Structure 1
């Protein structure tokens, strides 16, 4: 009996190999979610007798392309608060549902071809479900299955439009991977108010780096195609905002990585960098807070603040920089032999003078940009940006410009951060005259007595 059954199965497998084509999709790859999303949009999913209802795709164990599948709410600026708020709260309680076929086989037609969709679970661990999908068609060519997958990828990516996709590093069990955590509206570069020339210069450098000619030149010369940037300066000067605006301008995803995680190891860090896509922005925020300081510099030598200088230091290769990460491990993923190419690395720091020179040397950080306190021109620009009408083409702005000039004369030059400036102007967002009138008391704006008096 056993021999007969085995013989029949072998015959079936042999025949199948000649008459059907199959593509398997695994849960640890983003194409899994792309096909699942495409399946959920097909009519046969809604008519299936056994379905799974979901509000978002969330691969608990591995890669996640989980982003809200809700459509962006339409906003009526003329609607009163109570009415608008009730609508928004009502929508947030009832999320759109996507239906996908349950485990088992589902047959459907795609471009005249009969396709079998099979969904099954590998293992029975309820806490960490592991699923696989197979797509099968008749014939030895899998071209039609490839077309289906490509269509699914296009449909999935079309949801993002020109928005900025944010990923963050997550750990599930012993593994580290990237999980999609947000889909944000693009931030316009002109909305980030910093010193003149910095934005355009940085954008031009990154566009040059991503241009086909540059990529070709790097390959021909045998140079690794990588670029690094250090944004440093006091808190609230727009470092992270500038990074998000650049990502929106270049239509690149951002991969957020914290070096302070206690469970992060050199191996986990290397795995995350290995899994980065070809073109993206990797953002390491507040790297000075992770302990990457000049502790390796001999205390008998003076500290230098010229980040590009190559000074002699006393080095301990396994000095930890945050959690279980060593400095050597961080340096290896940035520009080691196996370091990924094509990515843009942006680090931010409030105290770049404390960073280890090995981290900030040329080749790892190609240029340093200091974002400072607001000068007179920035103060004026902030004022105009806050109060200028959205449609200002036919509006006389002479009065507002006069107020902006007087406001810029009132605020101390390079003593307040852009974040403080924005907070102050938002407080008086309906009255530029009142913002100017009370600007004389700016240094005491956040004092306890002033808060009470308001």
Structure 2
């Protein structure tokens, strides 16, 4: 499902009139579900930025939040906004069901390619009254990083965002021609005497993505690894294998 296109259509003024003419409450509900660190909250904030909407974050784990206060908060919301309800799976709004078959690996990560969102849904099932149609219109699954996503994460981390050509502030004045400084990634490629920076970076990103198993790590975990080496793509490539093995041991003993 294309969330961006769906929200764009929903915010169209003709959609609001269509809802009003048929007596349907004008609201839209999305359930983003999946393992932690897979981008659910980040996507919500990105959508708010794209459509210029205020975002109101409500944590249902807030101990002082009462039902009456929650109702009042919703009453005072502006007509156009996004409300992000976080932690609904840990706020007493779930039905816990015993799995039909329990094995030792049920509570640990599957090191083979697998759908971890299914395991998440199986362990904690939200109350059907909470996600019935009319409250939740679309359920959007999030999973751990695929090989393509891992490669894109690497490339985005080390791509030079600054322009490589001169910036002309005033065409009639040669003194106002500025040359932007090189970013750390540019410096590393320059020091090592490599040409074709873009193609080399793509090659390193491809090799990096092949060293990280698919569907095992969240994008946030991979990003955390890269941030500690944010100016050293080759170092990230050299050390990722050891990092993966260390994380596997952590998962097995958790």
Q: TM-score when scaled to structure 2?
A: 0.72
1:260 CA displacement: 2.3
1:406 to 207, 224, 237: 207
Q: Which residue number corresponds to residue 93 of structure 1?
A: none
Go from structure 1 to structure 2 and tell me whether the alpha carbon gap of 1:427 and 1:447 turns closer, same or farther (over 3 Å shift).
farther
Deviation at 1:258, TM superposition (A): 2.0
Query: What does 1:162-201 align with in structure 2 at a 5 Å threshold?
Result: 201=2
Q: CA deviation at 1:271?
A: 1.1
Q: Which residue of 2 aligns with 1:367?
A: 138
Between the two proteins, the alignment pairs up a number of residues equal to: 200
Residues 120-131 of structure 1: pairs in structure 2 closer than 5 A? none
Structure 2: distance between partners of 1:356 and 1:242: 24
Distance in 2 of aligned mates of 1:393 and 1:416: 34
Displacement after TM superposition at 1:263 (Å):
3.1
Other-structure match for 1:204:
5
Structure 2 SS opposite 1:402: helix
Q: Is 2:217 the partner of 1:416? A: yes
Structure 1: distance between partners of 2:204 and 2:226: 13
Corresponding residue of 1:102: none
Alignment-derived partner of residue 88 in structure 2: 287
Instruction: Indicate whether 1:223 and 2:24 are aligned.
Output: yes
Q: Give the structure, 1 or 2, with the largest relative contact order (CA under 8 Å, sep 6 or more).
A: 2
Equivalent-residue separation in structure 2 for 1:385 and 1:366 (angstroms) = 32
Superposed CA offset, 1:152-188 (max 9, x none): xxxxxxxxxxxxxxxxxxxxxxxxxxxxxxxxxxxxx
More strand by share: 1
Q: State the distance in 2 between where 1:211 and 1:272 align.
A: 25
Structure 1 residue 424: Cα displacement: 0.7
Give unpaired runs (5+ residues) of structure 1: 1-197, 303-349, 450-454
Residues 447 and 413 of structure 1: is their aligned pair in 2 closer, same or farther, counting only changes over 3 Å?
A: closer
1:391 maps to 162
The CA deviation string for residues 186-227 of structure 1, in whole angstroms up to 9 with x for no partner, is: xxxxxxxxxxxx6xx111111111111111111111111010
1:377 maps to which of 148, 167, 171: 148
Matched residue of 2:145: which SS? coil
The one-character-per-residue Cα deviations of 1:385-413 (angstroms, maximum 9, x if unpaired) are: 00010036777410000111111111111
In 2 relative to 1, CA 392–361 (structure 1 residues): closer, same or farther, beyond 3 Å? farther
RMSD: 2.6
2:41 equivalent among 240, 262, 267: 240
Residue 357 to residue 447, structure 1, CA distance change in 2 (3 Å): closer
**Larger helix fraction of residues:** 2
8 Å CA contact 2:59–2:86 kept in 1: the answer is yes
| Partner in structure 2 of residue 265 of structure 1 | 66
Identify unmatched segments of 5+ residues in structure 2.
101-118, 166-195
Give the TM-score of the pair, scaled to structure 1.
Answer: 0.41
